[in-house]
Structure 1
Amino acid sequence: MITTIIINERTKAGRTLLELARLLATTNKGIEIQEESPYNPEFVAKIERIYDDYKSGKTKSITLDPNDIWGSLGLK
């Protein structure tokens, strides 16, 4: 039998219950925790691709003059 429990991690009781479930999952083979991301998977994939580009040096750095932002961007 599979039972789904929705836990609000913003409350003290929710955080306590989640920590207890995690503790039980590490000591008991009959309990499994599956956490779902609240983010859209396409959005997460896009952010991961951008981060990979950043790590590999495929990004462009722009230095802005705080006194002339538009001029720094070449838009003036």
Structure 2
Amino acid sequence: MKVLLDIPDNKASSLMDVLKSISYVKAKPLTDAKALLMEEVKEAVDEMKQIRAGKKEAHNAEDFLNGL
């Protein structure tokens, strides 16, 4: 199982020490850029689920590009 935690910077070091001391746990920090990317991908997936469920309307990509 994978778990993503959001921990204040001033508490992260001590928690990482605890996690690394447990033999069956592999813990590694994410860079800010990777964490942001993961959040953006999650939001995109959630939006696609809403579109498929009919809760949100899809927009044409060609119209979007023409608007740029």
TM-score interval w.r.t. the shorter chain?
Answer: 0.3 to 0.5
TM-score w.r.t. the length of structure 2 is 0.33
Larger radius of gyration: 1
TM-score of the aligned structures, taking structure 1 as reference length: 0.31
> Larger helix proportion, structure 1 or 2?
2
